[in-house]
Amino acid sequence: MEDKIQKIAEWIVGSRALVVFVGAGLSTESGIPDFRSPGGLWDKYDPEDFLFQNFLSSEAARQKYWQMATEMYESMKDAAPNAGHFAIAEIERLHKLDCLITQNIDGLHFKAGNSEKRVLELHGTAMHVTCLSCMKRYERGDIQERIAKGDKAPRCDTCGGLLKPATISFGQSMPEQETMEAYRRSQACDLFIVIGSSLVVQPASLMPVAAKERGARLAIINRDETACDYLADMIVNASAGPTMASVVEKVKMLLGSGQSSL
């Protein structure tokens, strides 16, 4: 495994356009549950109950949605970044990161130090709430205070529109601008590193394929097999945080010595 970590570090140092793609496997190392796994949130709730159209059409559905969303938020609001998050932020500080594409909604990359201009949140964020009518943005904590006081399905205090966490729900369109930009960056990169994703959720899972089709190297760091292992130039089946911490230490050593390897 040490040889693999060394080679990924060399690839990063030699890269002109690195895209990092992360999934739930990185967040679970910060204590945030993987909601799709056995015992997760979707074992307790039926995802069909939370279709976006239901949220739009029914007050009862909105109240049930906010009950579920509050439980989800409680599991992540005080979570801290782990070694993997800090490693990715360090790659940005070293001027080696073109962009970070994340399927996660917990905002931990920003807590670790990544800048907003480098992060594309494909599934939105649970840290803010948006009015679906006037698009006014609220801090999540402010809305949760209203819910704690008995407002079971809060509305916008400016226009009266429906308020919803700024995440992408089942049946809701992916954010067009972020998705298009993520594809563009994937196609333009020369190194694509997947961290903590099984690469089964579309359309995000197609991005490493797009990168490979344009000639990029593909490295996958994930504890289990992924849907794109057959395409990978390097696979490390290990925990994301410790692995990325080791990779970044070697990157810093290589940059310090002025060495790179293609």
Residue 111 — φ and ψ, nearest 5°?
-60, -30
122, two tokens = 């494909």
Q: And the tokens for 183?
A: 């594809």
Among the listed residues 95, 109, 123, 128, the single catalytic one is: 123
Query: What is the C-alpha separation between 158 and 42, in angstroms, rounded?
Result: 33
Q: Which residues of 250-260 are buried (b: 16+ CB within 10 A; e: fewer)?
A: bbeebbeeeee
User: Does residue 195 contact residue 84 with C-beta atoms inside 8 Å?
Assistant: yes
CA distance 107 to 114: 10
Is 123 among the residues known to form the active site? yes
Pair 130, 107: CB distance under 8 Å? no
Tell me how far CA of residue 220 lies from CA of 103, 106, 116, 213, 223, in angstroms.
Answer: 15, 22, 24, 16, 10
Q: What type of residue is 229?
A: D
- Cβ-in-10-Å burial (0-12, 13-18, 19+) of 21 comes to buried
Q: Could you give the CA distance from residue 232 to residue 218 in angstroms, rounded to a whole number?
A: 5
Compute the distance between CA of residue 78 and CA of residue 75 in angstroms, rounded to an integer.
8
Provide the token pair at 100: 């970070």
Residues with catalytic roles: 123
